[in-house]
Structure formats: structure tokens, C-alpha cells
Structure 1
Amino acid sequence: MTIHPSGVTMRPNAARVLIRSFIPADPARIVNIIGRALALSEAEIEEQLVAVTEDFGSRHLNLRDFWRRHFGQVKAHIFSGRPLSEARQLYIGALFSGEYALEAAALFNPSVVPHPDQAGLAEGELRFIMSLRATGEGHISSIEFRTGIIHADHTITMEDPSRFVTAPKLNPNPTFRKMMFVHKLMEMGFENDWSATVMESLGFDFTLSELEQAMRLAARGLGPLPREVQRTTECVRWLAQSNYEVHFDPSVAVSERIIFPVSSNESNGMEDARFVRFVEDDDSILYYATYTAYNGRAILPQLLETSDFLSFRARTLNGSAVQNKGMAFFPRRIDGRYVMLSRQDDENQFIMFSENPHFWGDPQLLRRPSQPWEAVKIGNCGSPVETKAGWLVITHGVGPMRKYSIGALLLDLRDPTKVLAELREPLLQAVGSEREGYVPNVVYTCGALLHRDRLILPYALCDTATTIVTIPLDELLAAMTPCA
């Protein structure tokens, strides 16, 4: 089997920095910082603002917009009744801002899908979007994007990434679907009289402001809220925060778009997004991405949805099977049902079916580790790729000394619970200098695609950098051994 290197390697760049708010948890410290800013004269404020703008202005687009936003987050702590000049507001915002090098440590675990815009290409070319896991200080992971073109001769060119990065704008009043909200409350054990009262007063779809109003009305006349009501209120707000919507301006280049953790359940990272171009039965297209939300203590599988890579909706997944890592959608329904690969037990590969992409249960065992190089555990490496021979599933296996290898399975097109064939030997392993990195001895991918009978496979080297290879599909299928 011939594996063709593309010559593309993407390495972390510490110069790509995002502006984040840095606001102390102690309100007294916030007041102290503001007090020092209020003590300066207007001339001193202007001087300081000029200096910090000269220092950081070339490193960011729309620098002052971030300062205004961060000033808004602390203005409730301002104890002075006098109006503040715009310069003083901006300076206070800068005091509560800081840079974060979001990919300083690693740029890895890619997935790749066809770009929504295929205009302006030559015959036989395909434009793609690649997602990447970027990791910086504190091992906090976010989602980055790149774009490139696969040419008719299978060579690959990547668009140069922008020096700048931009976080999306958060929708302050997102919309929720009652059915999903109620189901998740039941799943978490917060189905009670108070939550029922709140939910019954809301429509089939409702906004965050409508939810807050419904909770205020439900609490009216209760006096000090009982502990059960307090805990339910906290859960409802957590659930609302976890189902958020963000939007990028169309002027922001693909490589500038960064989805950084928003909700508390992903505060320590958004890990290993597995994007898939999903084609519905009516031929409408939606891109799904399962990812692992991590808060520093627990992991939670979540879902991103987008049609254009500008507007994204983050959604909690529901059901008894929503656990562990490595959930990956099939790219279309099978016999009217959504299908997902998963790994409930951190060891074996499972498959599950659902009438709704947000609700999952009843996983079926698909494959146990069968080869020495996957003796510790196996899992998928992204969504299955549809071929005439069957569903091609790129897998990862963990063997002795926690060495990762990439392999493959072939599933029946009509009944994907049937494993037709497998690679007995690894498709890819870390060798030579590729063994050294942030996490040694690891090769890993979160999704490949098929173009003109060639598998386009991006993968990470030791959780540090990312490269791309191409593999003739017929050679890969010929190398697979039929399963009994």
C-alpha cells in the first residue's frame, strides 16, 4: 500500500494570540484595580492608553472592541458616580484583559470536510475546511480552522493562516427547544414541581430572556427559596449556558476563526472535534461536530452544528449512552435513523442508532481490540467514509507503552453493525523523529475524506503538529483482511 506524503505540516505558532478577560474572582480586588484607574488624571489616562495601544495594537484586530467588552463586565463594580470618559473606560477594560497564546503548546487532532463554498475551482479540485485542536497555557484547548484545496492530481495546497485570531460573538439571547431542555433536566435528576412550573409556562421554543422571566415568576411568593429550588435554578442556568450560539462576521478569514471555551462545562477545553458533512434525506446539508467538553474534573460529549462555519450552535447531547469520548456521526441516515460510533467503556468500539441526533441510548458492541497494537483499547478516528465497498472507519489503537497506531475497519453499507474487513497491521505509526513531541508515540486523527478515489488523511504527530497523507482507496481496501 502506497502512502503519499503531501508535504504539508502545520506547527503551533506562539505568536497567534487571543485577547481574553482576566477578572479576579475576589470583588475586592476588582474594586482595588478600578480605584487605581480612577485615581489617575485624564492626562495620565490618555498617556497610558496611547502606550498600551502602541504596545498591542499591531498584534490584534479591533483591539478597543475587546477593551469595551471587558469594561462592560466590571462596570458594576465602579463606585464613582461621575461619568467616565471613553479613554478611561478603555483603559479600565485593558486592565482586565490579557493575551492567551492559544496554540503555543500544540496544534493537532485534525478533521477535514468539504468546504461549503466550492466556487472558482478547476475541474477535479475540492476546497476543504480542516478543524484543529489548539492547546495553549494551562492545557486549555480550543477549535481552530484552516482551509485548502485538493487538486486533480491529489496534491494539496493550504491557505496561509492569518497572523490574527478572532473569537466569535456570543448570542446574548439564544433560543432553546423545550423537549431537549426537559429531557436533559430529567436525565440530571432535576424533574420536580418547580421545574415543571417553569417549563409549562414556556413555548415549544423559548429564548434565554423568556426562561429567566419564567423562573422569576415561578419563584414569586416563595420567600427564601428552598434548597431544592436553588439547586434546580442553578442546573437550569448551567444547561442554558451549555447550549449557546456564537457567530463570526463574514469578513473574518477562516484561519482567524477560533471557538474558545464558553460554558463552564468546557472551561478547561474543547477537545477533539470530529466534524462531518451530514446530508439529510431531503438533501439539505448540516455540519455536525462532536467534541469533548472538559471542566478540569469531568468530561462531557457535546455537539456543534453549523451550515456555513460562521454561525455555530453548541448543544448538550442527551441519553444514557452520552458518556466517554470519541462519538462520531455517520454522514447520512441509514434506514431513516441517525447512526453514531462511540466508546462507552474506554476500551471497545460501539455503534448506536437514534431517531434524533440529540438523543442517544442502547449502544451495541461493534468491535473489541483484536490485534497486539490495539490491545489496550480501540476507538474511531472520526466519522465513517462511505465507499462502494462499505463504510470505511479509520480507527486508533493503543498498545504496549501507550503507543498509538491508526488502523481501519470496513462496515456493511446497509447494516453497519457488521464488520466486513479490517487492517491486521497498522496503517500509520509514529516512527523516527515523529515519536517525539508533546505526547510521545502518538498518531491520531479526528476525520478524513474521500476525493477521486484517494483517501485524504490528516493526522497529528505526537499531539504537537499536524500533517496530511493521501492513500489510494483501492490499495487500502485490498490490504484489508475479511472478517469471519
Structure 2
Amino acid sequence: MSQAKFLNRQALYLRPDPARVVVRPFKPATEPRDLNPTDKTRANHIVERVLALDVDTAAHQLDDVLENFNGRHRNLLETFEARADEMEDAFSAHSTFSKIQRQLVGAYFLHEYSFEAAALFNPSIVLHPDQSGAPEGGSRFILSLRGVGEGHISSLTFRSGAIAADGAVSVDPPARLASIPKVAKRIPGPYGDCVDVIFKPNEDISERVIFPITETQTNGIEDARFVEFSDGGKKTFYATYTAYSGAAIRSELLQTSDFVSFRLSPLKGSAARNKGMALFPRKINGKYAMIGRQDNENLYLIYSDDLYAWDGGQPILKPRFPWEFVQIGNCGSPIELDEGWLLLTHGVGPVRKYSIGAVLLDKRDPSKVLARSREPLVRPDPSEREGYVPNVVYTCGAIRHNDQIILPYAISDTFSNFATMKIDALLASLDRS
């Protein structure tokens, strides 16, 4: 069966680029120290070897490192110094060392990571907080994407772009360089530590990469679902995402007002022990509201007085049509229309084929389902079905633009594209029985 007739695919393929790298801390593995508790670690040994170099040799070695890597990163000497600051314990046994030796030590404890070498997928879109330069009758946007590199470690990266008055989408080319943020502070919170990170404001947004920071995120920050949240006139961008430690998952919350500084916070409650939560863009009847999946099969509506604590919930959507018999999930935060809340969903069918559909929920009481897709809106196209995980189309969030839905979506867990849909045709396609 073909795609929905009103779906307009746009050939804006965002593909992974292994040349885009960030520099990250390198931590040597430590051998067992079961014989002598005073044995030095590998880190101590590396520091001792560097500090044993004479002045000229150390300077030559540092120059060689800079010649090799300067064009690939900003402010490398500053980065080397910052990494050396984290190695103070290894320096403590040495009475003297030069600035050059210190910078060289920092270089030995860093490595490059190609953060999107394997995949660039599962996008989410919101309006840009700065609309200067937007096309007439159009808008600027920020697109978040999940990048995957060596070891299947996921991080969060961004693109910017514009939507023309007629719905045509353009994406700004990414910057050549990329960087991870500075950890500004760690804040004890009621449900675990929060982390504040900040980028340099003069860097292009496509340079900013939020790489796993905490132990719960060790193996990935996955599938961020961004939403512009309005509360009493104040607007904040939130994103629910899945933190993966390598052994366990949990939902966490990211917030920002400018996409320069971010706070990453844990969520508490039975609903937060699962993935795929999506926040409504405003409170419903005085409460925060989420769509989530707690049983690997159905979708739930969850209310809370506390943005960071989520328990309970009521099931509102169960698999009904063949394309979603295995399970259903949300594809981003609900979009408010005059007719109700438009919720994009994903369904898993035969041979674990993922497709995208939609549901219309009552605006005052989103537990009431007014209509839903009998057939998918977007399904894997024959020309797009191959990739890291075949037969998958997926999105983490769309937006409304005039009379259209702007839908970024991922293809086979490998790369991303855009589609647009007229809202009236989309709603007319939904089954109301």
C-alpha cells in the first residue's frame, strides 16, 4: 500500500557525517592493584613519562599535536588546559612542571569521537527562539537529532533551518566543527542530581553536541522529544529523552530557553521508568500532562502537579489496526489544533515494520479519542527502507505551520528527511468510528 496521498515528501536527506568529531576525555583502563595498595595507576605512569621529557622535546611534541588537530577543533590549548585541571591528582607527586608539559598531559587524556558516524535520526522540531531572518510569512526552526557513533553511543545534536510561507523546508548546512558543552554545575535535586551545561554563544547551533554526562546516560541520550511549553506567558523549551546506562533506561528532562545553556534533570515515578514520554505544550486543567507508554504496548495519559514526578496514568490507546498490532507509541508532543490535540503515533506491524499514524484527542479531556488513523500516514518507502534497522520510519516531534504539519522523520535508524501534510486532509483521513 502506498503512502497517504496528501503526504509531500521533501528530498532533504540529512545523513550521518563521520568527519564531524568532538574531543572528549580519555580515561585509561586501570589494572588490578591487589598486591600493593600504593601501586600507581596508568594515568600516573603517563603523566610521569610526559614530565620526564626535556623542555625542547615537550614543546616539539605539543607543536606536532596542534599541527595535527588545530583545524579540527576550536581553542585546543584551552581544552588541553581544562583537561589537565581534571588530572590534578596525577600532578600532585611532582614538584615542578611547565605550562607546556601541563598542556601536553591534557592532550594525552583526550580523544576524538565521531558522534554521528553511524546514524543521524529520530528528529524533533520546534520554532527557533530567535525569529530574526525568517522568510516572509514563514518561520525559523531548530531541529534536534540523535547522533550515533562508535559503540552505539547516542548524543543530541542540532540543525537550524527555515519554513517558507508555502511550507517548503530548507536546512542550513552544518558547521564543520563541533563541540561538547562545559559542565557549569551539578545541583542536588529532590529526585537526583541535575546538571547545568553551557555552550559558547558565538558557536553555530549545529556545532553544539550534548554528549552523555551522568552515569545514567553512559551509553546514550536517546530520542529527545522537544516542545515549546507555555505557562502564564512564559515560554520554555523542554525535551523528554531516554537516558541509557548500558544496563537500564529511564526518562529524563532537558530544559532551555536559548539552546545555549541547558539543564538535564532526572524524572521520578513509575511512568518515568519507561521510554517515549511526551509533554503537552501547556497545562491541562491546571496540571502538567504527558503521553507515555508504560507496558510496551499501549499509550497512557498521565497527569502531575510536579513536572519532575510522574506516576500512574490511564490507558487511552491500544493497538487496533493491523499496522500497529505489535505495539503503539507516541511520535512527539501533541500539537494543538482548533479541532483537538493532534498526536502523531508510531505503530509496529508484521516483520516489525514501523509506520507513523495520527490520533485526534479532545482538547478539554485528552483521554477521549475522537479519531485515529486506520492506515499509516507515513510508511517505509521502497527506496528508503534500507539502513541500520530496516523498515522503520520514526519521528520525535512535528510542528504546525499555517495550514500544514511539518514532519521531520527518520529512515531505518540511519538518516532523516522531511514531509509536509495539509491539516484538513490529514484530519479528513482519520477514522471516527
TM-score clears 0.5: yes
**Distance in 2 between the 1:124 and 1:356 partners?**
37
Task: Tell me if the contact between 2:135 and 2:163 (Cα under 8 Å) persists in the aligned partners.
Answer: no
Q: Which amino acid aligns with 2:21?
A: V
Please state if 1:255 is matched with 2:259: no
Show the counterpart of 1:322.
272
Task: Tell me if the contact between 1:107 and 1:463 (Cα under 8 Å) persists in the aligned partners.
Answer: yes
Show the counterpart of 2:35.
none
Deviation per residue, 1:28-65 (Å, 9 max, x gap): 21111112112211110011111111001111111122
SS of the counterpart of 1:57?
helix
Please state if 1:441 is matched with 2:388: no
Report the Cα offset of residue 252 of structure 1: 1.3
Report the Cα offset of residue 335 of structure 1: 1.2
Show the counterpart of 1:19.
23
Deviation per residue, 1:167-212 (Å, 9 max, x gap): 111113x4445xxx1xx3xxxxxxxxxxxxxxxxxxxxxxxxxxxx
**Distance in 1 between the 2:410 and 2:165 partners?**
25
- Please identify, of 443-452 and 359-368, the stretch whose mean Cα deviation from structure 2 is larger: 359-368
- Structure 1 residues not aligned, in runs of 5+: 185-238
Report the Cα offset of residue 6 of structure 1: 2.3
Show the counterpart of 1:271.
222
Q: Equivalences for 1:3-402 in 2 at 5 Å? A: 3-26=7-30, 28-78=41-91, 80-172=93-185, 174-177=186-189, 181=190, 184=191, 239-240=192-193, 243-280=194-231, 282-402=232-352
Report the Cα offset of residue 110 of structure 1: 0.3
**Distance in 1 between the 2:51 and 2:97 partners?**
9
Which of the numbers 332, 355, 360 marks the counterpart of 1:405? Answer: 355
**Distance in 1 between the 2:187 and 2:18 partners?**
36
Task: Tell me if the contact between 2:135 and 2:162 (Cα under 8 Å) persists in the aligned partners.
Answer: no
Task: Tell me if the contact between 1:166 and 1:252 (Cα under 8 Å) persists in the aligned partners.
Answer: no
Task: Tell me if the contact between 1:437 and 1:462 (Cα under 8 Å) persists in the aligned partners.
Answer: yes
Show the counterpart of 1:198.
none
**Distance in 2 between the 1:400 and 1:373 partners?**
7
SS of the counterpart of 2:383?
helix
SS of the counterpart of 2:24?
strand
Identity %: 49
| RMSD of aligned alpha carbons | 1.2
Q: Which amino acid aligns with 1:463?
A: D
Normalising by structure 2, what TM-score? 0.95
**Distance in 2 between the 1:69 and 1:376 partners?**
49
**Distance in 2 between the 1:152 and 1:124 partners?**
5
Please state if 1:478 is matched with 2:423: no
**Distance in 1 between the 2:65 and 2:266 partners?**
40
Q: Which amino acid aligns with 1:38?
A: L
Task: Tell me if the contact between 1:278 and 1:285 (Cα under 8 Å) persists in the aligned partners.
Answer: yes
Show the counterpart of 2:415.
465
SS of the counterpart of 2:240?
strand
- Please identify, of 60-69 and 343-352, the stretch whose mean Cα deviation from structure 2 is larger: 60-69
**Distance in 1 between the 2:93 and 2:295 partners?**
56
Q: Which amino acid aligns with 1:105?
A: A
**Distance in 1 between the 2:283 and 2:410 partners?**
29
- Structure 2 residues not aligned, in runs of 5+: 31-39
**Distance in 2 between the 1:380 and 1:397 partners?**
9
Q: Which amino acid aligns with 1:21?
A: P
SS of the counterpart of 1:53?
helix
Report the Cα offset of residue 121 of structure 1: 2.6
SS of the counterpart of 1:305?
strand
